[in-house]
Structure 1
Amino acid sequence: MLTIWGRASSSNVMKLLFLCEELGLPFERLDAGGSFGRTNEPDYLAMNPMARVPTIVEEDGFSLWESNSILRYLVARHAPGSPLHPADPRTRAGIEKWMDWQLGHLNAPMTTILFTLYRTPEPERDRAALARAEAETATLWGVVEAALEGRDWLGGNALSLAEIALAPYLHRWLNFPITRPEMPRLKALHGRLMIRPGFARHVAVPIT
């Protein structure tokens, strides 16, 4: 059975749990990271020298870290060529573009909002940094809103790794206690994701 190391509240762990549900892939999740610790212990560092979550370990001892790389690997291993990560080079590149965009552009300002509002005592919050992050994320989500014009999914005609990689961030963006522009296509995408059991179970959870 696949072992997933990482706390359930981690957006990067949520992605993997969502995908495993889509693939019907059995897994065991072990708490690590945040208040659970473990990531700086020697046995964990032997699997993942970055001391972050998630890390996966297969029954034969193979381990892998970096959440979006794990997403690609799991589909290649268990559902090669599926709509989640199609074989067609252009369709696949279109999906991977959003996965890279999430890492390179969206992650930082979304993390600023999360840590400011949920993990920093109110007297210590940097309101200026929060305002900048809110403005930046609004612009970034506007790119996704525009890309959804005339289509239900970012990566083709079905759910793909593009949506799975963005899923935790989309749910948080629409539920953060902030003022944000109306983006009806994003809300509709969220609604389509809500009917997926893996999203409802592992992603659409209270923000902590």
Structure 2
Amino acid sequence: MLTIWGRTNSVNVKKVLWAVHELEVPHERIDAGGAFGLVNDAEYRAMNPNGLVPLLKDGDLVLWESNAILRYLCAKFGAGSLWAEDPAERAIGDKWMDWATSNLAGPYRDVFWNLVRMTPETRDDAAVERGRTACSALLARVDQALADKPYLSGETFRMGDIPLACFAYGWYEMPIERPHLPNLDAWYARVRERPAFATAVAVPLT
């Protein structure tokens, strides 16, 4: 059985939990990170020297970095569903996984941390607005990409849609002004209908 370390309110942990629920893979989850601590314990650091979540153990394999874990799970358990066998088809969505991490995560964090995890007294409103503006511009690129296909992965929901959809949940739930992006809105409505999204992603923002 897989073992996953991580707290359910982490975007990066949500990616992994969504995949195992989507693929119906038996697993055990251990609370770690944030208020749960554990990540600085010597035993944990021996598995993940970064002291971050998520962390996956599958037999003798110990793996960290959420996108790497997601790719591994989909390759092992999701052939024909979340994992496209054709490399070119798979790459269509795969690029959005790293794009979400390298482009969107930074400005999103400025909005999320200040609005959700900071108190009104410690909140940086200027950082919120900078992050909101940057995210709006970035998500407009996603909206354009979705103009001719229902999913970032193409005609079918696959692995490449998961990371951005985890960020999108917070984006749509936070009390902020959002630009009108009809293709993004329609894509988000489609991914929200998946039962595994409700189980793994749609939890209160904390």
**Could you state the TM-score of these two structures normalised by the residue count of structure 1?**
0.95
Question: Is residue 63 from structure 1 mapped to residue 50 from structure 2 by the alignment?
Answer: no
CA distance in 1, matches of 2:46, 2:112: 29
CA distance in 2, matches of 1:176, 1:99: 22
* 1:175 positional shift: 1.4
Count residues with an aligned counterpart: 206
Partner in structure 2 of residue 87 of structure 1: 85
Partner in structure 1 of residue 112 of structure 2: 114
- Counterpart amino acid of 1:75? C
Are the aligned partners of 2:3 and 2:27 in contact in 1 as well (CA < 8 Å)?
Answer: yes
Gaps of 5+ in 1: none
Partner in structure 2 of residue 98 of structure 1: 96
Partner in structure 2 of residue 170 of structure 1: 168
Partner in structure 2 of residue 76 of structure 1: 75
Are the aligned partners of 1:15 and 1:168 in contact in 2 as well (CA < 8 Å)?
Answer: yes
Are the aligned partners of 2:110 and 2:127 in contact in 1 as well (CA < 8 Å)?
Answer: yes
Are the aligned partners of 1:4 and 1:54 in contact in 2 as well (CA < 8 Å)?
Answer: yes
CA distance in 1, matches of 2:37, 2:89: 39
Are the aligned partners of 2:32 and 2:53 in contact in 1 as well (CA < 8 Å)?
Answer: yes
Question: 1:67-105 CA deviation, whole Å, 9 max, x = no partner?
Answer: 00001101111233x242323222222222101101110
Are the aligned partners of 1:85 and 1:95 in contact in 2 as well (CA < 8 Å)?
Answer: no
Gaps of 5+ in 2: none
User: Which shows bigger deviation, 182-191 or 33-42?
Assistant: 182-191
Please provide the CA RMSD for this pair: 1.2
* 1:167 positional shift: 1.6
Partner in structure 1 of residue 156 of structure 2: 158
User: Which shows bigger deviation, 26-35 or 148-157?
Assistant: 148-157
Question: Is residue 54 from structure 1 mapped to residue 54 from structure 2 by the alignment?
Answer: yes
- Counterpart amino acid of 2:14? M
* 1:147 positional shift: 0.7
Are the aligned partners of 1:155 and 1:162 in contact in 2 as well (CA < 8 Å)?
Answer: yes
CA distance in 1, matches of 2:194, 2:129: 33
* 1:166 positional shift: 1.1
Question: Is residue 44 from structure 1 mapped to residue 30 from structure 2 by the alignment?
Answer: no
User: Which shows bigger deviation, 179-188 or 33-42?
Assistant: 179-188
- Counterpart amino acid of 2:205? I
Structure 1 residue ranges, 4+ long, deviating more than 4 angstroms after superposition: none
CA distance in 2, matches of 1:75, 1:45: 26
* 1:14 positional shift: 0.6
Are the aligned partners of 2:21 and 2:200 in contact in 1 as well (CA < 8 Å)?
Answer: no
**Could you state the TM-score of these two structures normalised by the residue count of structure 2?**
0.96
CA distance in 2, matches of 1:70, 1:32: 16
